[in-house]
Structure 1
């Protein structure tokens, strides 16, 4: 038995040898080198926590759910171990800078790479088989296709261990207090009914607080303008790199090209190559591309390294935008100017069955949250905005 001292959950007990072995795999250790919030670290100096710590946190939150006597009595030992593993591994496929990397990895998102790591020729796969855990069972929980839908909902639903941990963790590390959730009360009032994760009505206010906390975290943290500026600058760096590759540009350093070749060709990246990618390697690639002769690639490399990101705004005068464009060569304007349409922020979604939150009524039947929540009746649940992207080095 081992303990991990966590700044969010305190002592995290590692009781299962399979969990300890998975943590020690090279694929899981790679998560130490991937910052959880990507561009958020450039707004909040303390937000340098990693996907590694988040995955440990999700494992711990699921452990707390499974300690709930009602839930514990309805799950066998194999399923208990499998869902803990799924929680631990759910983000193992994330690329550098977390979600930022998905702006360029169009062929596959991080969830698909996660499944590839679990089912592929990896240390993770070997550990699972060594401990007689079917990798497909773990993959099915993460994909939300396991026959026991309750296990799926613990890892991926509108109120799951993933969201509970990242809201708490991101709130603590950014220094804001919007997501001060009543975690223990929510878990204490959780129940397993009809293979669904449901809650007693006395937890309604705590769940409403969770949704409001999530809303404010998205407004203040996840949708922060600097995060978008980081994403857009990274996207332009990559776009210029790809364009030069397609133009048969003679790179001084071919290592960067070799690593990104599958992405340039819009293919699924070879898993061995993909696992070489983390925040550290990306920064090193940018240092190397800052030495290329191409002025645009050099500029974006420097912007990424030294926090000179492109600017964004929800509103900009066309005349001012045109004057800025006139300062950039026409063939380069696509790298420095863009528009992001319809960024949507949803407080609560009931479009899909798996995303609905249910409460137990006095007669034992279930009621969907929007039918009993005053908050959801009073608050607009969908907010949209557009963003203009432009070059303005006076914006900090």
Structure 2
């Protein structure tokens, strides 16, 4: 039998806390799950440093990727078949893209990427197109199949309906991570009626649309997303941990540039420090490796690296105050000066962190991060943009919310024998 149509002799199932079961019958999907590149995702947390805020948030990119696959499997096997606008030949491509969409994530994902100027989506495509076990499986389907999967994930594939299943304002990726992250963090915000959404979902030539009768389920999803971002993803304690993590990596990079002699050499970091990361180097990185170095660097001679690693490993995080960079830039400058006078390096210990989110947007052609809107399918077969029909969504459409915090080590500015007057002045300015 042709490999693309080959089925397992018996269906495999993964027990899942969100979807109850993840069903695998296609040989291609089972083989992809067994590759070393996909198994690596077990060692990458889905929520980065959130485990230091929500102790249950230990779930992995592996869990999430299986969940996205399962949602897409239900759509292409149960919802779309026989409906106009859906080409059944795109089924396997949709499943593979859903399964592999996060394949290139590195340890502590976004924080790691910022420091070393990396892009996990580029690495996802490299894994799919490079000399990897994943590529070998995909190439057995057809010579051009890896390229098609890569194009779906890069959002350049010519069938935009397939792209919208895993990358749009309401897609399988978001549907899974909102529910999964809510479950593992123990919050109630991320829950919405996914069963209803799937029932009212319809394929159209360019993207997925939703029957008007399901509008309230779509509203519920949008509001769940809004709440999760501000209550979980942008939680100030999680951001404190991210700030410290980022500063550890910056400090190690700076020390390497200045030819510092590490007690525990950062062998896995050398290619990162030199901006010469190969795919082979990248795939060796996971969170266990990074945490090993943080554990070891607590013994370094460099006081800053030693202290920051101790803080991260033992959860002695920075405190924070509300901060408006536009209005309080003079306060920041004054604090920088006082920190230096007190012998505290402001580059590592006085950090402004900003978080921003746009929960839903309508179509703004040509703008950065252009977003396709969510459409409702009316009874007369007309398509109407969601915010034109929903007062709830209209109230938040196009409105970006931004939050700024100023992070600092409270223990460093307590009264002691070292510069007590300066530290009192710092506390007065911070109003603590």
Range of TM-score over shorter length: over 0.9
Which structure has the bigger radius of gyration? 2
Q: Which residue of 1 aligns with 2:278?
A: 270
Q: Which residue of 2 aligns with 1:369?
A: 386
- 2: CA distance between counterparts of 1:121 and 1:169? 32
Bigger mean CA deviation after superposition, 234-243 or 283-292: 283-292
What CA deviation, in whole Å up to 9, does each residue of 1:317-337 have, x standing for no partner? 94994697257526x321111
- 1: CA distance between counterparts of 2:78 and 2:321? 46
Question: Which of 95, 101, 122 is the aligned partner of 1:84?
Answer: 95
Aligned to 1:15, the other structure's residue is in SS state: strand
Q: Which residue of 1 aligns with 2:360?
A: 348
Bigger mean CA deviation after superposition, 367-376 or 53-62: 367-376
Aligned to 1:243, the other structure's residue is in SS state: helix
- The offset of 1:178, in angstroms, is 1.0
Aligned to 1:104, the other structure's residue is in SS state: helix
Aligned to 1:63, the other structure's residue is in SS state: helix
What CA deviation, in whole Å up to 9, does each residue of 1:39-62 have, x standing for no partner? 111111111111000000000010
The answer as to 2:45 corresponding to 1:28 is: no
What CA deviation, in whole Å up to 9, does each residue of 1:272-305 have, x standing for no partner? 1111111111101112222221111111111111
Q: Which residue of 1 aligns with 2:114?
A: 103
- 2: CA distance between counterparts of 1:280 and 1:259? 12
Q: Which residue of 2 aligns with 1:358?
A: 375
Gaps of 5+ in 1: none
- 2: CA distance between counterparts of 1:131 and 1:337? 53
- 2: CA distance between counterparts of 1:196 and 1:39? 34
Question: Which of 263, 266, 270 is the aligned partner of 1:261?
Answer: 270
- Change in Cα spacing, 1:143 to 1:231, as seen in structure 2 (3 Å) is same
Aligned to 2:379, the other structure's residue is in SS state: coil
Aligned to 1:290, the other structure's residue is in SS state: helix
TM-score by length of 1: 0.92
Gaps of 5+ in 2: 1-10, 414-432
- The offset of 1:105, in angstroms, is 2.9
For these two proteins, the number of residue pairs brought into alignment is: 389
Question: Which of 37, 40, 52 is the aligned partner of 1:42?
Answer: 52
Residues 65-84 of structure 1 aligned to structure 2 (within 5 Å): 65-71=75-81, 73=83, 74-84=85-95
What CA deviation, in whole Å up to 9, does each residue of 1:223-278 have, x standing for no partner? 00111111110111011101111111112233x1x32223223x252111111111
Contact kept, 8 Å, 2:43 with 2:287, in 1: the verdict is yes
Aligned to 1:5, the other structure's residue is in SS state: strand
Contact kept, 8 Å, 2:178 with 2:228, in 1: the verdict is yes
- 2: CA distance between counterparts of 1:37 and 1:333? 28
Q: Which has the higher contact order (CA 8 A, sep 6+)?
A: 1
Contact kept, 8 Å, 2:79 with 2:198, in 1: the verdict is no
- The offset of 1:71, in angstroms, is 5.0
- Change in Cα spacing, 1:44 to 1:69, as seen in structure 2 (3 Å) is closer
Q: Which residue of 2 aligns with 1:136?
A: 147
Aligned to 2:116, the other structure's residue is in SS state: coil
Q: Which residue of 1 aligns with 2:402?
A: 384
Contact kept, 8 Å, 2:179 with 2:191, in 1: the verdict is yes
- 2: CA distance between counterparts of 1:334 and 1:207? 44
- The offset of 1:7, in angstroms, is 0.5
- The offset of 1:378, in angstroms, is 2.8
Q: Which residue of 2 aligns with 1:54?
A: 64
Aligned residues: CA RMSD: 2.2
- 2: CA distance between counterparts of 1:69 and 1:300? 50
- Change in Cα spacing, 1:327 to 1:54, as seen in structure 2 (3 Å) is farther
- 1: CA distance between counterparts of 2:299 and 2:402? 40
